[in-house]
C-alpha cells in the first residue's frame, strides 16, 4: 500500500494540472420564418419534403457545415400573414429569443444563427379573394383597388419591420427572402391574369424592401421559374407547391445562399410561354396585353370586367376553404 501512495499522488497532481475539458460548441442554426410554404404544406412529407427541409439537408451536408453541424428551427405556421409574424409571441419574437439564448450560451459563438429565410405574403393577398371580398364581385371597383393598395402598404411595413428586427439581432447572418409564384400560371384564363398581376405587385414590393442597404438581405426569386408551369409544380389544391415545386424552391434558396445560379432540372431549362403572358422578367414584357398594341385598352378593360369576376369565383372558393380551415 505504501508503494502505491507515491503513484496515486503523482496521478492526482497530473489530473489537477490538466486543463479542464472544453465544452463542445453548439452547432450554428438555420431559422425559417413564414407561412404554409415554409411549413412544407403541399409536399408529400411536410417534414422532409418542404423547401426549408430540402435547403437544410443540402446545407448540413455541405463543406461549410459537414463538420460543424447545423440546427434547423422551422417556425413556419400555415395561414400566417405578414402581420402575424409580428404579433406578441409570434415568429419574430420566437426567432429573437432563439438568437438571444444562443448568444448567451457560452458554447456558442456570436451570430450563432447564421442563416434565416423568410417566405410571407401569400395569405395577405388571399384575404382579398375570400367570397365576401369586394374584389370577387368587381376587381375593377375602387373598393377593391383601395383594399389592394392597403394590403401592399401593410405588407411593406410588416416586412421592413421584420427584416430590420432580424438584421439588428444578427448583423452577420445570411437573410434570404423568397418572392411569390403565381399558382395559376399557365391556365391562360382571366383568373390567371388577375392573380399574376397581384403577385407581381407583391414581388415588386418585396424586391424594393429587400434591396434596402441597411437590411442587407437577398432575394430568392422563384416567380420566373413557375411561369407557365403551375400544372407541373403546384399541388392539387392550386395553392401550394408539390414535391417538384418544393424541390425547385429549395434549390433557388440554396443557390441564393451560396451566391450562384440555381441548377434546374432539364425539363425546366427551356422557357415556356403562356398565351398572352411571356416569361420575360418584370419590367421587360413580363405581362403582355391581350389586345393589339395599337388598341386604346378599352377592349382589355371590357374583357377584364366581364371575365374576371366569374373566373375569380373559383379562386375565391379555394381561398375561402383554405383560410377557413386555418382559422383565418
Q: Are 193 and 304 in contact (CB under 8 A)?
A: yes
The predicted model scores a pTM of: 0.78
Identify the structural domains of the chain with CATH numbers, from first to last.
25-283+291-325 (3.40.50.1110)
Could you report the per-residue pLDDT of 138-188, keeping only the tens digit for each? 777 788 888 889 999 999 999 999 999 999 999 999 999 999 999 989 888
Asked if the model's pLDDT at residue 305 lies above 50, the reply is no
Of 307, 308, 264, 324, which Cα lies nearest the Cα of 132?
324
* Percent of the chain residues past pLDDT 90, beyond the cut: 56
Q: In what order do the strands lie in the sheet with 174-178?
A: 71-74, 29-34, 113-119, 174-178, 218-220
pLDDT reported for residue 265: 85
Checking phi first, is residue 133 left (phi over 0); if not, alpha (psi -120 to 50) or beta? beta
Q: Provide the CB-side half-sphere exposure for 60 (13 A, CA).
A: 14
Residue identified by cell 371575365 is 307
Amino acid at each position: 500500500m505504501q508503494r502505491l501512495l507515491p503513484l496515486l499522488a503523482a496521478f492526482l497532481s497530473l489530473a489537477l494540472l490538466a486543463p479542464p475539458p472544453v465544452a463542445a460548441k453548439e452547432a450554428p442554426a438555420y431559422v425559417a420564418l413564414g407561412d404554409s410554404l415554409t411549413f412544407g404544406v403541399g409536399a408529400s412529407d411536410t417534414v422532409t419534403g418542404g423547401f426549408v427541409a430540402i435547403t437544410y439537408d443540402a446545407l448540413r451536408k455541405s463543406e461549410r457545415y459537414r463538420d460543424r453541424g447545423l440546427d434547423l428551427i422551422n417556425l413556419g405556421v400555415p395561414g400566417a400573414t405578414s402581420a402575424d409574424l409580428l404579433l406578441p409571441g409570434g415568429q419574430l419574437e420566437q426567432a429573437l429569443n432563439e438568437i438571444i439564448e444562443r448568444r448567451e450560451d457560452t458554447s456558442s459563438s456570436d451570430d450563432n444563427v447564421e442563416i434565416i429565410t423568410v417566405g410571407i405574403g401569400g395569405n395577405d393577398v388571399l384575404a382579398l379573394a375570400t367570397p365576401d371580398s369586394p374584389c370577387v364581385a368587381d376587381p375593377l371597383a375602387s373598393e377593391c383597388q383601395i383594399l389592394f393598395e392597403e394590403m401592399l402598404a401593410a405588407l411593406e411595413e410588416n416586412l421592413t419591420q421584420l427584416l430590420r428586427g432580424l438584421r439588428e439581432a444578427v448583423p452577420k447572418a445570411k437573410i434570404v427572402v423568397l418572392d411569390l409564384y403565381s399558382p395559376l400560371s399557365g391556365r391562360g384564363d382571366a383568373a390567371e391574369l388577375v392573380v399574376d398581376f397581384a403577385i407581381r405587385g407583391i414581388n415588386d414590393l418585396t424586391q424594393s424592401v429587400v434591396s434596402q442597404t441597411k437590411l442587407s438581405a437577398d432575394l430568392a426569386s422563384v416567380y420566373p421559374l413557375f411561369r407557365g408551369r403551375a400544372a407541373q409544380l403546384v399541388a392539387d389544391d392550386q395553392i401550394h407547391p408539390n414535391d417538384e415545386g418544393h424541390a425547385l424552391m429549395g434549390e433557388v434558396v440554396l443557390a441564393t445562399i451560396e451566391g450562384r445560379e440555381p441548377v434546374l432540372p432539364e425539363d425546366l431549362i427551356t422557357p415556356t410561354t403562356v398565351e398572352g403572358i411571356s416569361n420575360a422578367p418584370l419590367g421587360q414584357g413580363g405581362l403582355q396585353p391581350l389586345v393589339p398594341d395599337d388598341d386604346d385598352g378599352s377592349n382589355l378593360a371590357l374583357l377584364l370586367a366581364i371575365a374576371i369576376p366569374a373566373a375569380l369565383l373559383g379562386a375565391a372558393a379555394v381561398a375561402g376553404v383554405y383560410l377557413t380551415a386555418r382559422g383565418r
